[in-house]
Structure 1
Amino acid sequence: MNVNRFFIGVISGCLLSLFLPIVPELLWLIFLLALILTCMYYRLLFFTGLCCALSLWLWQVQQHQTQSTQLLAWPEPWLKGQVVSISQQDPEFSRFLWQISEGPQQGYLVRVRWQQAPALLGQGQDWWFKLRCKAVRAPANPGSVHVEANAYVLGIIGNCVVKDALVLDVEWDHRQQLYQRLQQKIGNLPSFSLITAFTLGERPFSDELWLGLQATALGHLISISGFHIGLLFGWVYGLMLGVATLHINLLWCRKAAAFIALTAAWYYSLLAGFAIPTLRALLALALAVYLLQQHRRLSYSQSWLLVCGLLLLLNPLWVMSISFWLTLYAVALIFLFVWRYPLQDRSLSGVIIHGLKFQAVMTLLMSAPTLLFFHGVAPLALLSNLIFVPWCSFLVIPYLLIALLLELVLPAEMLWHWQLADLLLAPLQHWLLAGASMQYWWLLPAQTAFSALCIALLLLAVFFLPAAVPKHRIALLSLPFILLLWPKTPQWQLHLIDVGQGTAVLLQKGDRGLLYDVGPVYGSFNATEAYVLPYLHYQGIRQLDYLVLSHADTDHTGAFAEVLKAYPKLQLIADFDTGFSQRPCLSLPERYLDAELWAFRSLTQSGEGNNSSCVLAITTAGWQSLLTGDIGHSVEAELLMSRPDLKTDLLVLGHHGSKSSSQLDFLSRVKPLLALNSAAAHNAYGHPSAEVLGRLALLQIPLLNTAEQGAIRIEKTEQQLHIWPYRQQPLPFWLQKP
């Protein structure tokens, strides 16, 4: 019981760190250490654990920030390190993780981009790199990875570009050799991406497969995680116990079963690149093996607290990982199920029914965190998991690991074992593609952490309360949550999507929308696929009616063809040649649903430059928004001459806040209540300019900029505007400032 209090304190301290507004100075570590000694003296184990967690968290965060600051302070340092991930190849760049092996930053990672990298580049190689680095920062949109938090979890201290290089050791490690061999040998198989996902943790998925994973709720099955590591451990452990029964001379297999199974789990983790979920599973399994050897039995609650507490003591920064808490939540559900519904009928039919019941309960109870983090549920989740979790657990994953072992011993030209694997994966492949094509994903009202917790507790009560508790009382408790989740009348929303140095604005009502620009494209990278399309899917846009391309600059047109592919029925609006069926800016209708539209394009500008931008005024629920593209001061004056009474409530600054736009006269005439700007953090152009900031300050117009706020969502009702800047919402609080 005392140990439980300590680990509850550890968990509480790690959770408390998420709500701290700032990172305290390192001197606070002395105070925390003194508190630890005091609490230990008085045997206050809860507070001892809490202070231990906060001390370790403070030390790791301060070290991470210090080493990142030092790295960024050097102009172009030469550093020695090792490639620790399989590189992602783009037409112009190779991207990979690189671990520094010497100097004060030893052990930390940097995310590297290398233009025209050599073909021999691979995981396991040692290099001297001359690097130009910048801080880890990326556009922040709901539904996407919290890049800054993820950098702390993984130990990444910078994003770097290779300026010069010297190879020290060209040998690939075992994982890279296997991946290269499989790519050359079976890269043309339809299920190649699924094979590499299950065996090596690499997921070169198409957009269709990613959508299929969302629509079928099978993402947990494809990514190598604790489930896969634990599954392999169980298979090998059971196999060794079975072998021990064959002959008396094989009794040693019983004693060695746990260690052999742990070794197999370690090898699987090695193949997965020792991803964090696999490391957590390995540590938990190692603890279980230790307790087994010591003949110590713990209750389910003690086991959960022990695993969770020890993992957070090893790395308190894992508290920022969503996957960490999803895993612990799933483990807690498994323990609850085994406690509440023990297996009593051990016949084949009884085991099958019990397994189906388990899968159904797990799928339903995992819907609460899905609703919290992804604002929706997949109706196909239950059916998908009932079919493909057993299919993959009992057939696909064991066979793929056997096929991988065969690959190591069979002649290189042999293909039959992979062709059979392709046949086994064909049903899953077809199911994912079918789910993507039908867009099986239900968007539900966004939930707070509190409401999602209440929903989870209600579901837990339904399934795990003793049978003596009247079920009708639980049904009455569910009524408030039914009202909470009941679809509400859709309101108009304006979204300024964070695409970095570019523009993308979404006007949404329900599942329909109008998109104004699609973000930038830089070389092989385009924000349209990286940010805009995922944002549209996340917000539940099923019907995109119009795509307005303001002008021809690539920071506005991006990869607009991908939007046309995703929404083939939309109408493209552009005043330059796109190569697709299109209509001019001024052909936009005056009404879109119940919104009023007014389009303007300069009559004096005949080219495709900034001043040819299509300006769009939108009136919804009595509020007006003005999207100005990249127009300069001359077209601003022309716009005012065309419509002298022009006023707006929301103004998206022209040309990302450039000093050549948003002139004082223009701002004072249109009188916006709020200015919005789309620009990248620390961009090379200095947007928004000091001049524009001065004009806004003079007129007392507040500004929200995606560089600081991330994506900005504004809901319009007849009474007021509800504004949600994304970076002011996610935890941890101390990471919200740029």
Structure 2
Amino acid sequence: MPRVGLATLGPFGLVLGMIFRLAMPEADRGCCGVGGFWFLAALMVLAMVRVPSGSRYKCLLGVLFCFGFGWGWMSWTCHRRLARLPAPYHLDRAVEVEGRVRHHWQTRYGQAILLERVRFLHADWEDVELRRLTIFTPALPAAPRRRSPLRAWIRLKRKVPPRTIPWPLQRLRERYAPRFSGNVKTVRLMSWHPQPDAPDSALSPANRELWRLFTANVPAQSWRKRLEPLGLGHLLAISGLHCMLVFAVLRWLSFPLRRPWWRSGFTVVGLLVFGSWMGWSDSVTRAVSMLAGFQVMCWLGRVRDWYRLWTFLLCLALVLDPFSLLRAGFWYSFAASLGLVLGRGVAMPASPLDHPWLPRLKRFLPILGAQLMVLPVGLVFGCEINPLSVIWNLVGFFLLCFLLVLGALAGLSLVWTDLVPWCNSLESALVWLLALPEPVIEALRLVRFPFEPAWALAFLFVSFLILRYGFREWRWYGAMLFCLLFCSIHHRPLSGERLVMFDVGQGLAMMLTDAQGRTLLFDCGGQLPLGLRPESLVRLFGGKDVAGAFVSHHNADHYNLLPRFVRPFPIWVPRGQWGRFHFEQDLSAFIKIPVEAGAGLAWGRFRLEVIWPRGSPEPTDTNEGSLVIRIARPGAKVLLMGDAGTWTERYLDRDLFDSPRGGGAATTVSLLQVGHHGSRSGTGRAFLERLKPDVALISCGAGNRFGHPHPQVLSNLRQQRVPWLTTADSGTLILLGGRPKGHFRFPETGTEPWSER
């Protein structure tokens, strides 16, 4: 490998120092782990071995300076950020805010509006600073105009995402970049500029979304769902690929200008206008800066060194906004652009060792390099990778061009209605083509637990060394082999039988897996982190195939995740609520099987039995008609209550359980899932006294508006000396199985429900 210098090692030392400072608190030491320390040691070794002897110690001191500067700058920025975030006493208080509308969308309960340049209009809120704020309002008579000012009285709340999987960056985001929202009680407390009415047209909603995406940067949710299975969802984010198209168009339009500096100035101004209109996201800022710098360097007669320009922009972006390290757009943008730079390679004389196809493949190598560099980034902010995404992204540029043509055709059809049938027909044909490769992609998709940032940075650094200093085309074989080995070994899914209670916020979702990986679901509702699919979640925790699901009752927070599964499966529902499930449109693809007390199922070493509801007495409401399921295994018993409360507890037969604990008798119930998320109407004192469970489990969201778990329920558990675990405090809980290997940390309690009994 040729010699390296400070320009190679310095940026990685700067990023590593910032990551170390972010993860400095003892509670987050896992965000760096041994990977960070080994990476810093590797930088020092390279500085001592691969740097010319005359500047070896200067390079070593330069790496340490970059690391220390990143640490110190991030320390000052963290202190300033924490001082300007809303304090706990600011929450749940009415306050008047003002901001500019970025975009808006429709929710089940009303309108959601994203504001930027937020300003709180109260004297005691002057030190509070938020870049963006989402406010939820009732149904508005007219949608707000984009970029127009909006003023409203809101009640500020903090949004805590569920900790469904062990995501290292989530703890850092909750501390330094928390998400806040505001609720507007009535429309009379708002003032905004209404958006002009759109012309009536038979254009499909998806094509309307595509037109608004390319003209106003409004997210196109329907198209994102269609492209996400292919790994091409990033095409709908206004990113560097769009900037490249704009750059090509501007260069073509500037062709009549005779002087070079006129053409360069016209291109730079056009790029700046495009970035201002679409919004300065991380990817747009990086792409516009690099392309504009490319033109300025040409104008000034300087040598175009893409890598040095990339290095300068990376350091500048981190100094201006160190917390961009917590955003996926920053990592994706700079990793992909580094791959594009490395894919161009270095001009070398022809050699008989070169592959004869190399001249034809050179134009595709930058795209291949970009895809190799973004693979570890996908495992930092997600939990799955698709090896075929490299192939799909080779044609992604052409697909984006087709989407641009379709968007332009949609805009013309709003004026010329004769184009509407053609536009809708093209959309239908494209949707049909996109659905063809989905089965193959789903079969080859890999799931892994999210990487820690230091491991991802080390992965990028090794890939960078291979692609930049590797020997001719052999560097591509080495980079792909290293990528394959690293992604195959590191953070693999769990295996073996286990019972899992997922953290899905204010909902309930549990999974039972036998030794062969066959899976049963017990309720499947709530909220998942953005981008996490239910199939990927099941596979991460050892499930290979979902055979069916027991849905306790007809409440959306117990089944709303089922329609997101690609392959439908049978679901067992209470007999008395079968009609409600039968007419549920979202569950039309699933087979509904009514069950009641007495139904049973053998599942590996587990025995499942439904013990409620019975034919009589009739439940008083939907919650009291929930399925109550007993899961038995040698040495352990689990009782799942769903949303059943104290009314149901009075009718459960004593004969269904062993005798109460005491006098050497066996434990009645090992694990009890507390009914109705720990509300006051569930899990009475008499029921706990009769069961005497070893551990009580409560599925509820952190800071939920219902106040779950209720203090009365916790008091009942405390009086009966029953320890409890909540998903709000502990995240996803693994039960009745072996300890996972280094992925989870459990709270200290007097029992270990996940161990063999």
TM-score band, normalised by the shorter chain?
0.7 to 0.9
- Cα 1:530–1:63 change in 2 (3 A) is closer
Give how far 1:311 is off. 0.7
Contact 1:94/1:116 (<8 A) preserved: yes
Relative to the length of structure 1, the TM-score reads 0.76
* 1:56-205 to 2 correspondences below 5 Å: 56-65=76-85, 67=86, 69=88, 71-72=90-91, 75-85=93-103, 87-90=104-107, 92-99=109-116, 100-101=118-119, 103=121, 104=126, 105=128, 108-142=131-165, 157-165=180-188, 170=193, 172=195, 181=198, 184-185=200-201, 187-188=203-204, 191-205=207-221
One-letter amino acid of the structure 1 residue matched with residue 627 of structure 2 = C
SS in 1 for 2:436: helix
Q: Which digits, 9 at most, give the CA deviation of each residue in 1:438-459, with x for residues without a partner? A: 6625244536447767776776
* Whole-angstrom CA distance in 2 between matches of 1:153 and 1:513: 37
Q: How far has the Cα of 1:495 moved from its partner?
A: 3.2
The yes-or-no answer on 1:514 pairing with 2:537 is no
Give the Å deviation of 1:508.
Answer: 3.9
Greater length-normalized contact order (CA 8 Å, ≥ 6 residues apart)? 1
Equivalent-residue separation in structure 2 for 1:317 and 1:692 (angstroms):
40
Q: Give distance in 2, aligned partners of 1:476 and 1:204.
A: 36
The one-letter amino acid of 1:654's match is G
Distance 1:155 1:538, change over 3 A: closer
CA 1:12–1:63 in 2, change beyond 3 Å: closer, same or farther?
same
Per-residue CA distance 1:113-149 (angstroms, 9 max, x = gap):
1112122433233333121221232334349998886
Out of 536, 543, 546, the position equivalent to 1:544 is 546
Shift, 1:226, TM fit: 2.3
Unpaired stretches in structure 1, ≥5 consecutive residues: 25-41, 245-249, 520-526, 729-738
Correspondence 1:676 to 2:732 = no
Question: How far 1:660 moved relative to its partner?
Answer: 4.7
SS at match of 2:630: strand
With the length of structure 2 as denominator, give the TM-score of the two structures. Answer: 0.74
Change in 2 beyond 3 A, CA 1:295/1:151: farther
Counterpart CA distance in 2 for 1:343 and 1:447 is 42
**Letter paired with 2:398:** W
Q: What residue is the counterpart of 1:576 in the other structure?
A: 576
Letter of the aligned partner of 1:11 in structure 2?
A: V
1:404-431 Cα distance to aligned partner (Å, 9 max, x none): 9xx6xx8962257887776776665333
Cα distance in 2 for residues equivalent to 1:166 and 1:305:
48
Matched, 1:381 2:402: no
Q: Is the 8 A contact 1:679 1:687 kept in 2?
A: yes
Change (3 A) 1:679 1:146: farther
1:446 maps to what in 2?
449
Q: Is the 8 A contact 1:214 1:378 kept in 2?
A: no
The count of residues paired between Structure 1 and Structure 2 equals 672
Q: Is the 8 A contact 1:94 1:113 kept in 2?
A: yes
Question: Aligned-pair distance for 1:380?
Answer: 3.8
Shift of 1:95: 0.3
Pick closer, same or farther for the CA change 1:560–1:219 going to 2, 3 Å: closer
C-alpha distance in 2 between matches for 1:558 and 1:475: 41
Alignment of structure 1 residues 431-470 onto 2, 5 Å:
431-436=433-438, 440=442, 442-446=445-449, 448-449=451-452, 465-466=470-471
Percentage of pairs with the same residue: 19
Matched-pair contact (CA < 8 Å) for 2:243–2:284: yes
Letter paired with 2:153 = K
1:583 match: secondary structure? strand
C-alpha distance after superposition, 1:267-300 (max 9, x if no partner):
4334534444323433444555555544444755
Given that 1:79 and 1:102 are in contact with CA atoms closer than 8 Å, whether structure 2 keeps it comes out as yes
| Cα contact 1:80–1:128 (8 A) shared by 2 | yes
Change (3 A) 1:313 1:607: same
Q: Pick from 507, 516, 520: which aligns with 1:502?
A: 507
CA RMSD of aligned residues (A): 4.7
Matches within 5 A, 1:259-658: 259-297=265-303, 299-339=305-345, 353-371=361-379, 373-386=381-394, 388-392=395-399, 395-396=401-402, 399=405, 413-414=415-416, 428-436=430-438, 440=442, 442-446=445-449, 448-449=451-452, 465-466=470-471, 484=489, 490-508=495-513, 512-519=518-525, 527=526, 534-540=533-539, 543-552=545-554, 554=555, 556-559=557-560, 562=563, 567-579=567-579, 580=582, 581-586=592-597, 588-601=599-612, 603=614, 605-609=617-621, 610-619=623-632, 623-633=636-646, 635-636=648-649, 638-645=652-659, 647-658=668-679
The 3-state SS of whatever aligns with 2:363 is helix
CA offset digits 1:250-278 (Å, max 9, x no partner) = 323x2133333233333433453444432
Q: How far apart in 1 are the matches of 2:714 and 2:742? A: 21
Deviation of 1:93 (Å) = 0.4
Secondary structure of 1:84's match? strand
Identify the match of residue 222 of structure 1 among 227, 236, 239.
236
Cα distance between partner residues in 2 of 1:328 and 1:466: 24
Cα deviation per residue 1:543-566 (whole Å; 9 max; x = unaligned)? 5333322234x3654548837x85
Mapped partners of 2:279, 2:475: distance in 1: 49
Relative to structure 1, is the Cα distance of residues 600 and 329 closer, same or farther in structure 2, using a 3 angstrom cutoff?
same
User: Does the 8 Å CA contact 1:512/1:542 hold for their aligned counterparts?
Assistant: yes
C-alpha distance in 2 between matches for 1:494 and 1:267: 54
Separation in 2, partners of 1:193, 1:377: 27
Provide the secondary structure at the position in 1 that maps to 2:610: strand
**Residue aligning to 1:735:** none
User: How much does 1:470 deviate?
Assistant: 11
Counterpart CA distance in 1 for 2:442 and 2:473 is: 38
Deviation, structure 1 residue 476: 9.7
Q: Which moved more, 1:285-294 or 1:146-155?
A: 146-155
